[in-house]
């Protein structure tokens, strides 16, 4: 079963100008592309395709071109951005976004999520974060011409503005990273793997009409709960995937597993957390299992949510799975009794999703004495310091600790996991030794590259920041 409720973003290659930007094309690598003459950001495989995309691309294109053409705006832009160099990437992206938004069509509308990615994922120098756009502005100001960014000769996914900066970044970019999910590989190797993966998923999207967040769940109910200790993505899903997608025996399942792990990771992480935080397996025999999810800024937890059915499929004694999605960015929806697979329907199993557009502590306060603690409260990739979603997070942490609610937090990488674990401890949490700061066995296998950093990358729920009860 599948769920395609989420709009498919252009693949990273397209967002970086290395594949055709048109939504039903995304041709890349081998295809000759030309940059849009207006913004010099988006690339297209032919003038005809460029024309097809024009109505949706036009306003952002003109804005980007306007920023570059206007001397006053350029000076402001360059100045503010240059100052942000030293303060790190995230803040700088926000500055870009704010400026572009302010300028966009006299501020009559804000950027769409897809447009934001075109700005956020603009190739940058790994050392100083200069972009092609900024290099052209700088060159124009000093009366020279810009050669543009130099891509990595091995992966073409990371860039430097000069050979001097490549000398500074090369070794680290090629050094083994501890963020790697499997083995220790370098950021450069992950970039190469990811490029292959994106190509695979693009072909699949065209052939079968669905993408990475397909919400695939094997349509089977297990006879009994079995511990996840010692099992792997391949051992749990390899055969099911082969059957469902009719993958021939000679073909490896790795790209498929990588694809489905991206969403299934949430269901598997919840199960793993429940297993570790419970002393015995009484939780596997409850009639109703309740999970509260602290939803992040993109609310991806609410999309492709079909895959939460995997929780029911592994707990045959549980009749009802109730998931409460909670957070300011949660879409406003009424409580749904979700459609289930034929087997669950036959068994009378229910998957109920409730949507709460509030922070968690507001939700708990509002419920008052009617608040029923969940079997698990989970936040995926929550250690994102800039997200307004988490401005009240100390309050939420405190509440979870005070009420002894079994909780689990995941992070994109080691650095963020360690930061989050420290915060949790500061708020009084005693982290479970098996859920301390460590790689998450059930993290996504689909890495998010970090073309703007010299080392490392991100993996959705790649690390467990901490769990406690
Ligand atoms: Zn353009
Ligand atoms: Zn195209
Ligand atoms: Zn540089
Ligand atoms: Zn590289
Ligand atoms: Zn089912």
| Per-position pLDDT tens, the chain of length 469 | 333 334 457 778 888 888 899 877 777 766 689 999 998 889 999 999 999 999 988 888 887 787 777 655 556 555 555 545 444 444 455 455 556 555 554 455 667 777 777 777 888 888 887 888 878 877 877 788 888 999 999 998 899 999 999 999 999 999 988 776 666 689 899 888 888 888 888 788 777 766 556 678 898 999 999 999 999 999 999 999 999 889 999 999 999 999 999 889 999 999 999 999 999 999 999 999 999 999 987 788 888 778 999 999 999 999 999 999 998 889 899 998 999 999 999 999 999 999 999 989 899 999 999 999 999 999 999 876 544 455 567 788 889 999 999 999 999 988 889 999 998 998 899 999 999 889 999 999 988 877 777 888 888 999 999 999 8
The domains of the chain, with CATH numbers, are 12-173 (no CATH), 187-468 (3.40.50)
> What is the distance in A from the centroid of ligand 3 to the CA of 158?
12
Chain centroid to CA 398: 26
**Nearest ligand (C-alpha, residue 175):** 4
Alpha-carbon gap, residue 65 to 37, rounded angstroms: 9
> What is the distance in A from the centroid of ligand 1 to the CA of 26?
15
**pLDDT value of residue 89:** 47
Long-range contacts of 64-67 (CB under 8 A, 24+ apart): 64/38, 64/39, 64/40, 64/100, 64/133, 65/38, 65/39, 66/103, 67/99, 67/100, 67/103, 67/133
For the record, the structure tokens of 195 come out as 């490029």
Helices 132-141 and 71-85 pack at an angle, to 10 degrees, of: 120
> What is the distance in A from the centroid of ligand 1 to the CA of 57?
6
Alpha-carbon gap, residue 127 to 142, rounded angstroms: 22
> What is the distance in A from the centroid of ligand 3 to the CA of 143?
19
Taking residue 357's Cβ as centre, other Cβ atoms within 10 Å add up to 16
Alpha-carbon gap, residue 157 to 167, rounded angstroms: 17
> What is the distance in A from the centroid of ligand 1 to the CA of 39?
4
**pLDDT value of residue 100:** 58
Helices 187-208 and 254-277 pack at an angle, to 10 degrees, of: 110
* Phi, psi angle pair for 204, to nearest 5°: -60, -40
Burial (CB count within 10 angstroms: exposed 0-12, middle 13-18, buried 19+), residue 338 = middle
Residue pLDDT, tens place only, 94-118: 455 556 555 554 455 667 777 777 7
**Nearest ligand (C-alpha, residue 202):** 2
Residues whose CB is less than 8 angstroms from the CB of residue 54 and which lie 6 or more positions away in sequence, other chains included: none
Alpha-carbon gap, residue 254 to 261, rounded angstroms: 10
Residues whose CB is less than 8 angstroms from the CB of residue 455 and which lie 6 or more positions away in sequence, other chains included: 172, 173, 175, 177, 187
Neighbours of ion ligand 4 (CB under 5 A): 152, 154-155, 158, 188
> What is the distance in A from the centroid of ligand 5 to the CA of 309?
6
Q: What is the CA radius of gyration of the chain?
A: 23
> What is the distance in A from the centroid of ligand 2 to the CA of 278?
52
> What is the distance in A from the centroid of ligand 2 to the CA of 192?
22
Judge contact between 363 and 356, C-beta under 8 A. Answer: yes
Alpha-carbon gap, residue 119 to 175, rounded angstroms: 28
**Nearest ligand (C-alpha, residue 130):** 3
């Amino acid at each position: 079963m599948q769920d395609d409720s989420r709009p498919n973003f252009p693949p990273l290659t397209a967002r970086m100008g290395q594949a055709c930007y048109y939504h039903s094309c995304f041709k890349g690598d081998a295809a000759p592309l030309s940059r849009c003459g207006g913004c010099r950001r988006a690339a297209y495989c032919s003038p005809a395709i460029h024309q097809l995309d024009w109505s949706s691309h036009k306003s952002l294109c003109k804005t980007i071109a306007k920023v570059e053409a206007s001397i006053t705006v350029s000076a402001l832009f360059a100045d503010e951005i240059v100052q942000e160099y030293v303060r790190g990437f995230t803040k700088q992206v926000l500055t870009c976004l704010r400026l572009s938004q302010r300028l966009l069509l006299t501020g009559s509308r804000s950027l769409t999520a897809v447009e934001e990615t075109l700005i956020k994922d603009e190739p940058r120098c790994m050392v100083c974060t200069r972009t092609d756009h900024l290099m052209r502005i700088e060159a124009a100001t000093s009366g020279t011409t810009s050669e543009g960014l130099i891509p990595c000769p091995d992966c073409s996914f990371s860039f430097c503005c000069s050979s001097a900066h490549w000398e500074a970044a090369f070794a680290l970019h090629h050094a083994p990273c501890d963020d790697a999910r499997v083995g220790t590989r370098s950021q450069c190797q992950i970039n190469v793997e990811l490029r292959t993966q994106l190509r695979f998923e693009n072909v699949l999207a065209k052939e079968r009409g669905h993408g990475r967040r397909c919400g695939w769940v094997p349509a089977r109910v297990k006879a009994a709960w079995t511990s996840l200790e010692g099992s792997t993505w391949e051992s749990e899903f390899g055969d099911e995937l082969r059957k469902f997608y009719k993958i021939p025996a000679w073909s490896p399942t790795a790209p498929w597993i990588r694809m489905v792990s991206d969403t299934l990771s949430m269901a598997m992480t919840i199960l793993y957390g429940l297993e570790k935080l419970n002393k015995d397996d009484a939780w596997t025999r409850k009639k109703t299992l309740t999970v509260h999810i602290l939803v992040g800024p993109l609310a991806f937890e609410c999309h492709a949510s079909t895959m939460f059915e995997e929780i029911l499929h592994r707990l045959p004694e549980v009749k009802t799975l109730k998931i409460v999605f909670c957070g300011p960015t949660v879409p406003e929806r009424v409580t749904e009794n979700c459609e289930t697979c034929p087997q669950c329907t036959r068994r009378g199993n229910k998957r109920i999703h409730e949507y709460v557009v509030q922070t968690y502590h507001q939700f708990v306060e509002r419920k008052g004495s009617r608040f029923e603690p969940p079997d698990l409260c989970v936040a995926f990739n929550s250690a994102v310091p800039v997200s307004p979603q988490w401005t009240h997070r100390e309050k939420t942490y405190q509440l979870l600790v005070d009420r002894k609610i079994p909780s689990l937090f995941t992070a994109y990488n080691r650095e963020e996991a360690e930061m989050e674990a420290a915060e949790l401890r500061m708020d009084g949490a005693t982290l479970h030794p098996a859920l301390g700061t460590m790689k998450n066995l059930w993290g996504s296998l689909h890495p998010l590259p970090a073309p703007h950093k010299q080392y490392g990358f991100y993996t959705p729920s790649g690390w467990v920041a901490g769990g406690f009860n």
